[in-house]
Amino acid sequence: MTLKTRIIIGIVLFILIVGAGYSAKKVHIPKTSKTSFETENQTTISQDEEMGEIVYKGKFMIPVENFIKVTSKFGGRVDPIKNIKSSHSGIDLVGKIGSNVMCVLDGEITWAGWQNSYGNCVEVKHRKEDGTVFYTFYAHMRNDSLRVTKGQKVVKGQIIGTQGTTGDSTGDHVHFEIRKTDKSKIDPAPYLFEEI
């Protein structure tokens, strides 16, 4: 083999290797980005399922009948309506379509009606043994489904309305909040799902 032939073979091999590398890279890029997208989605779903599967031993009863799962936790998230980062002021609970929404504890109704983004909603005032006042709040209920009025006394498990998707909502669910005396909001999850 002459030197010239070796050089030509070398050049051909070089072009083949680089060319193969380039085409492999071209195929590889979309594949990688798709995989990471899928992984992200799976993570989100599994987190939600994980929450829904927790056996609830909480102090409060689950405020929706036929509870299926938690679709959004309390705290930081990307707002599904405005598509911006925001803080979720409650927990989103999904029951079977048309399920009753129930008050989690004895109390007194402090709001029953429409509030812009919350749709048809109800706020209930409760009193702890030491006298401390706090509130529970239930939002997005069906139109004409509210069964309570302001000032009315209610008991644990009493039906207050029907699960719906009124106000800023992307599907049937109950947005549930716990508000302290000063109306600041805390994570309801431990009260619904954990022994505390």
Q: Write down the least CB distance from residue 40 to Zn ion, Å.
A: 21
Rounded to whole angstroms, what are the CA distances from 16 to 3, 4, 23, 25, 167?
A: 20, 18, 10, 14, 61
The answer to the question of residue 177 lying near Zn ion (CB under 5 A) is no
Stretch that binds Zn ion, among 14-22, 91-99, 103-111, 180-188 (CB under 5 A): 91-99
What does DSSP assign to residue 157?
Answer: T
Selected binder of Zn ion within 51, 67, 92, 192 (CB under 5 A): 92
Residues 84, 90, 94: CA angle, nearest 5 degrees? 100
Can you tell me which residue has the tokens 């195929």?
27
**Nearest position to Zn ion, beta carbon:** 175
The answer to the question of residue 126 lying near Zn ion (CB under 5 A) is no
Number of residues forming the site for Zn ion (CB under 5 A): 3
Question: Footprint of Zn ion on residues 146-175 (CB under 5 A)?
Answer: 175
**In the complex with Zn ion, which residue's Cβ is closer, 106 or 168?**
168
Q: Write down the least CB distance from residue 44 to Zn ion, Å.
A: 16
Q: Report the amino acid identity of residue 1.
A: M
Can you tell me which residue has the tokens 């051909």?
12
